[in-house]
Structure 1
Amino acid sequence: MTESIADGWFDHAPCGLIAMSIDGVIRDVNDRFLTWTGHARGDLVDRPIATLVGAGSRRVWEERVAPMMHLRDAVDEVALDLVRADGTTMPALINAAQDGESPLIRMAVFNATERVRYERDLLAARRAAESSQQRVRVLQELSTTFGLTATDEEVARSFAEAARDAFGARETAVLLAGDDGELTLTAGVNPLAGRVAPVPPLRQTEDVTVVTADGVEFPEVAAGLREAGLTSLSVTPLLADGVRQGTLVCFFDGSADFDAEYYDLQRALGRQASQTLVRVRLQRRLAALALHDQLTGVANRQLLQLTLDEALTAAIERGEPLSVLFLDIDEFKSINDAFGHAAGDLVLVELATRLAQSVRAGDVVGRIGGDEFVAVCPGADAEAAAIVAERILSICRAPIPVVEGIVSASVSVGVSVFRPGSDARPGAEQMLMRADAAMYDAKRAGKDRMTLSAAL
């Protein structure tokens, strides 16, 4: 290898590199090119590069690339096929230029396999769109119809309806995979229910599968189709990153044209349904994370504020009381000092769990900061709030085992009550401040107790 091509970047470049003479004879290649093509370096050195050009690209090579190389001109972004060691071809983009005053020509080779595959998929989708604009329009519009609050059932129902309309199916069914991988009917109708399960024998497929009533590959399904007065069904897997999200089944009672367009559109629908499910689930998860305390999992200050604002509005509309409980762990600094901050975090997590178990269904527990927690209790008057508070005090007194020993914790609770019709409407911050003040009254009175704030 000459000194001019011996730099370390040559073998480790993120693209294929070929050094060759003006007459097109290979002098060296880098490891990346060898990995892509499967050739050995010894088989390529001193070999004319033209012998690596695929049959379908030879005209491009002879009429465009070779003349420019002889003229020592640059070659930019030429697409051609290069022959691998096993005889298959690799789509590639090449750039070439003379190496300064050196007699060598350097060629950069970029593997275009994924780009070509993408372009082919894009062309197929474009052709499908041109031949069936209404179908594709339905599919495209679906991906933008779901917001942060969309449920899996809403997504499944929309795709079941879209598939029925787009493909002229008598019925469609969307089955989603649970945590155990089992498929459950989530939307649509399964006309074979009670006769045969159409999905289990087919669900391992990675592509669209069609079963006809006169088919022999799946005799039980075929018999079920005949019994239900159906002629065929298609099964489309809903896959995202290789993980099965579910399955779409289309049922037909007449002739169906299962041509290339049908398969392409089914695949497109399957991809879109899968991506939408993943996106909606991720959006819900991100939204939940943004509104929940990262340590304890209960609501954070932002969610508590939203909850309290909504609860105040609902209390006025319904004429029902609303209580806010403000809780602070007694002597929490001493717990951290005695057992360490890791143990302190365990205490916070455990007490948050106990708080959530102590309140009523419909109440919301959140961590407002440090060792302070809040419970929003819609419909709770002073008496009901006191019962909840006493339950919290009792359950929080139970010892908490940590690695360093046993922690005995308690909380002080302040309660603020809003009575529509008797009290002026407070703001959310005012409710919290009154409950906070009542909590400090409980602290001053000896801790591990509940204090009710003065009327608003």
Structure 2
Amino acid sequence: MSGHGDGWFEHAPCGLVATTPGGDVVDANGVFLTWMGHAREDVVGRPFASLLDAGSRLFYETRHTQVLHLRGSVEEVALTLVTADGTPLPTLVNSARDEQAGLVRMAVFKATERAQYERELLAARRTAETSEQRVRVLQDVSSSFDVSATDEEVAESFAAAARDAFAARDAAVYLTDDDGELQLKGGTNPLAGKVAPVPSLRNAAEVTVVNADEIGDVYPELAAAMRAERLSSITVTPLLSDGRRLGNLACFFARRTDFDAQYFDLQQALGRQASQTLTRVRLQRRLAFLALHDQLTGVANRQLLQLSLDETIAASAAAGEPLAVLFLDVDDFKSINDAFGHASGDMVLFELAARLTASVRVGDLVGRIGGDEFVAICARADAPAAEAIAERILEVTRAPITVAGGVVSASVSVGISLYLPGIDEQPDAQQLLVRADAAMYSSKRTGKNRLTLAHVGG
């Protein structure tokens, strides 16, 4: 770790800290000090553990230190720092011993958004558990959904649960789409396409019962359709979360008319449970997305790139199909930050990530490997295909980007690493990335804003 005069150190996109092997802070960059609200002299010389809350301090002094001693590095450790004004700051910390310098180097990443999602997920789970205890007949209906559950799977499960629990002939779950319209996601509506939706039922604020014998004067078409389908009653239960409508649960009955207090209590409980389960699985999907995607740009992060590249190499080797890995670096990105500020620099990275994603083919994966460096994994891409993709990327990134304070003219340098099964020896992910990185630097040396191609056997 360099002294604090180095620009890259001071303005890195994360907090950087160096400590002695015993844990005393030797240096910290400006980003870390800004987050913490401390002056450098307030931090240097004090134990890093003193900057943590009680729980994190205990973990840092026991588990973190032990693993660092045994392995030499620790990755993605969740620690909560306490800022100068007492505000907790959730972070993820990577630590590594530098034996030559006699230091421990630490990279600190904010995890505020992730922590908020985890708190919301925990609250949603606790609320769902309370509801399950009160409604034993439905206690297992939401427990089977994991991070891969879709809205359709949840809707189908609750439609089946309602049909069984209430002895309904049919049940249907409608969920609200992005335009605020209700769409059938699970179960069956025997009246679908036979009668226009009734607005008062679609927007019901509580459990509503409709009896065919009682609505003829108000809704004659609905009453006629119900009689034609031999339905005596319909109940509609709103699915709500924090006052926001997620959708509706509808139950259709051939004979039942004895809707008592117990029925309404159970129907309301099922509606709450369905809403809580939907909220939970959506939060789980969001957390899973955050774990594998860059929080600034939304493209794949280093972990997802590594997993995908390992799988793609194996698949390419098995199928005998070519594979191209593109390594991209924004030209003179530091000058953009210097001229327009880091917030504008982040906007440029966000826009370039969107353009890169639009430039590759369907099925290709774009990710941010760090800083202003991106990677694209392009399966079944030979040299001409890879060069065509790279040329599109070069073209779209040249277009001006409007930011606060002006217009940025950005470009990228591209390096392509090509693997040809049957000609090249099968590489590992690191070899492909290193070769693509080297090709990218060749593009930098020969004028930037261009591509350079290499292959494993080259």
Q: For this structure pair, what is the TM-score category when the shorter chain's length is used for normalisation?
A: 0.5 to 0.7
Question: Partner of 2:346 in structure 1?
Answer: 345
Change (3 A) 1:319 1:200: farther
Question: Partner of 1:170 in structure 2?
Answer: 169
Paired with 1:207 and 1:403, the residues of 2 have a C-alpha distance of: 47
Paired with 1:180 and 1:409, the residues of 2 have a C-alpha distance of: 35
Q: Compute the TM-score of the two structures, normalised by the length of structure 1.
A: 0.67
Q: Aligned AA for 2:276? A: Q
Q: How does 1:299-448 map to 2 (within 5 A)?
A: 299-448=300-449
Paired with 1:123 and 1:338, the residues of 2 have a C-alpha distance of: 55
Paired with 1:440 and 1:159, the residues of 2 have a C-alpha distance of: 55
- Work out whether residues 323 and 376 of structure 1, in 8 Å CA contact, stay in contact via their aligned partners in 2: yes
Paired with 1:187 and 1:123, the residues of 2 have a C-alpha distance of: 22
Structure 2: runs of 5+ lacking an equivalent: 1-129
Q: How does 1:3-18 map to 2 (within 5 A)?
A: none
Change (3 A) 1:123 1:384: closer
Following superposition, the deviation at residue 123 of structure 1 comes to: 11
Q: How does 1:37-186 map to 2 (within 5 A)?
A: 129=136, 136=137, 139-186=138-185
Paired with 1:123 and 1:312, the residues of 2 have a C-alpha distance of: 47
Change (3 A) 1:168 1:420: farther
Following superposition, the deviation at residue 125 of structure 1 comes to: 7.2
Following superposition, the deviation at residue 199 of structure 1 comes to: 5.2
Q: Compute the TM-score of the two structures, normalised by the length of structure 2.
A: 0.66
- Work out whether residues 301 and 368 of structure 2, in 8 Å CA contact, stay in contact via their aligned partners in 1: yes
What does the per-residue CA deviation read over 1:22-45, in whole Å, with 9 as the maximum and x for residues that have no partner? xxxxxxxxxxxxxxxxxxxxxxxx
Secondary structure class of the residue paired with 2:209: strand
Give the number of aligned pairs: 326
Following superposition, the deviation at residue 245 of structure 1 comes to: 0.8
Change (3 A) 1:199 1:302: farther
Paired with 2:367 and 2:277, the residues of 1 have a C-alpha distance of: 31
Secondary structure class of the residue paired with 2:173: strand
Q: Aligned AA for 2:271? A: G
Aligned: 1:298 with 2:291: no
Task: Give the share of equivalent positions with the same residue, in percent.
Answer: 66
Q: How does 1:262-281 map to 2 (within 5 A)?
A: 262-281=263-282
- Work out whether residues 132 and 273 of structure 2, in 8 Å CA contact, stay in contact via their aligned partners in 1: no
Q: Aligned AA for 1:319? A: G
Secondary structure class of the residue paired with 2:159: helix
Question: Partner of 2:243 in structure 1?
Answer: 242
- Work out whether residues 125 and 264 of structure 1, in 8 Å CA contact, stay in contact via their aligned partners in 2: no
Question: Partner of 1:22 in structure 2?
Answer: none
Question: Partner of 2:192 in structure 1?
Answer: 193
Secondary structure class of the residue paired with 2:139: helix
Following superposition, the deviation at residue 360 of structure 1 comes to: 0.9
- Work out whether residues 124 and 264 of structure 1, in 8 Å CA contact, stay in contact via their aligned partners in 2: no
Following superposition, the deviation at residue 276 of structure 1 comes to: 0.5
- More displaced 10-residue stretch of structure 1: 213-222 or 140-149: 213-222
- Work out whether residues 211 and 218 of structure 1, in 8 Å CA contact, stay in contact via their aligned partners in 2: no
Following superposition, the deviation at residue 427 of structure 1 comes to: 2.0
Question: Partner of 1:230 in structure 2?
Answer: 231
Question: Partner of 2:16 in structure 1?
Answer: none
Secondary structure class of the residue paired with 1:270: helix
Following superposition, the deviation at residue 410 of structure 1 comes to: 1.6
Larger radius of gyration: 1
- Work out whether residues 322 and 419 of structure 1, in 8 Å CA contact, stay in contact via their aligned partners in 2: yes
Following superposition, the deviation at residue 219 of structure 1 comes to: 4.2
Question: Partner of 1:63 in structure 2?
Answer: none
Q: Aligned AA for 1:381? A: D
Secondary structure class of the residue paired with 2:202: coil
Secondary structure class of the residue paired with 2:304: helix
